[in-house]
Amino acid sequence: MSDRIINRIYLLIAVVTAVFASSCSSDDAPDLSAGVAGNYEGYSSMTSGYFSNMISLDQKVTLTCLSDNTVSVSFASASTGTFTIPEATVVKSADSYTISGTGTTSMGHAGSTKDYDCSFTGTINGDSRVFVFSIPSVMGGTTVTFTAGELPESLYGYMLAGSYSGIFNAKSAYFEMADDAESTVKVEAAADGTVTIKCSSSTWGEISIPSVAVKRDGKTFSAQGTGVNNMAGMGGGATKEYACDGSISRNVDTEAVKVSFTMPAVMGGFTLSFDAD
């Protein structure tokens, strides 16, 4: 075989390789994976058979291009676990991308970590980027939903929702004392972003501060409003309703919680407060 023919064969091989070799794109098919690959920052919401709307801030999901229509998905979260989807398929319809695949999640509990099967579905449409991880075998079925962007005000209430226990410091114009036992303050979140603050105490009465707006200052979420305290009179006297100002704040990084209730008409101004870490 002549050198000229051999050179032409090598040239043909090089041309064929250049045409078909591609990391994420092809001349014959749309480059779907490149349209979704990237790092996404936002927040996540975890829901299971035992609780709902457990929100975590500063979350990050990474989609890495594998081929024209496949990506890998990784999501490492200190609060929800580590999710790995080795290969997810990308489909486009009009201007919307749908990504789906299966993989595993590693979750820690009581000092040990275990892997669970999980499925993944993502939707990217304009400014909306929502990724859903489902783990059927965890806590009666667990779903972690990641949403790119800032936490909306309508979800602020869930950052305060929960039960908080501490020993009240009671202070009035006539005395100051620490309570004998812990009290529990419950915060219930509503769908409109507001919260209701409640406290039931055999010593200090039944406190309810309803429909309070939640504010955010960096990593601190707080609510302050006015309600009532149904409080028994001294020495077991009749229960009477008093106006009550209540507030609660929580820093999501340090988990420092501050609670305060003030009844201006009681004993020259009466305040209950505790700090919880």
Spatial distance between the Cα atoms of 214 and 211, rounded to a whole number of angstroms: 9
- Beta carbons of 90 and 72 less than 8 angstroms apart: no
pLDDT tens, residue by residue, 135-147: 999 989 999 999 9
Three-state SS for 190?
coil
Three-state SS for 6?
helix
Q: Answer yes or no: is pLDDT of 39 > 60.
A: yes
pLDDT tens, residue by residue, 203-246: 899 999 999 999 999 999 999 999 999 998 766 678 999 999 99
Domains and CATH numbers, the chain: 22-150 (2.40.128.20), 157-276 (2.40.160)
Work out the burial of residue 212: count CB atoms within 10 Å of its CB; fewer than 13 is exposed, 13-18 middle, 19 or more buried.
Answer: buried
- Beta carbons of 151 and 141 less than 8 angstroms apart: no
pLDDT tens, residue by residue, 63-74: 999 999 999 999
Q: Answer yes or no: is pLDDT of 2 > 60.
A: no
pLDDT tens, residue by residue, 153-198: 999 999 999 999 999 999 999 999 998 889 999 999 999 999 999 9
What is the pTM for the complete model shown?
Answer: 0.83
